[in-house]
Amino acid sequence: MTTTLYGLKNCDTCRKARKWLDRFGVVHAFVDYREDKPTPEMLVEWARQAGGFAALVNKSSTTWRQLPDNRKAAASDPEWKLLLREYPQLIRRPVVVTDDGVMTQGFSDNGFKKRFGIQ
């Protein structure tokens, strides 16, 4: 199974996730979504699996707190897509997508063990 980890190369959580994948021999590719922004179609699919666009967003991030209130109040999918394409660092990271299309967000040792079937 191929795994793609989307995140930011300077993010500590993304680094931990990448080290974990290396340590357990999980073949993966890393995509820095500040440099290679997710497509609108990817964002729609991630939002579908996450339970909506609001669930994709890290609302405790500095970037979110610095946004004007009118940008935080995205009311439609096109507004969310525009916001997340403009500020991909708002996406809770890492985003992990396996070749079966399943997407998960975040990193924890136990969560990754369960996700990748490692005892």
| Contact (Cβ atoms closer than 8 angstroms) between residue 32 and residue 4 | no
Burial class (CB in 10 A: 0-12, 13-18, 19+), 77: middle
Say which residue the tokens 């525009």 belong to: 82
Candidate list 11, 44, 67, 82, residue with the active-site label: 11
11 is catalytic: yes
Nearest in space to 47 (alpha carbons), one of 90, 99, 10: 90
**Strand 28-32 relative to strand 3-7, pairing:** parallel
| Contact (Cβ atoms closer than 8 angstroms) between residue 1 and residue 99 | yes
Tell me which residues are annotated as active site.
11
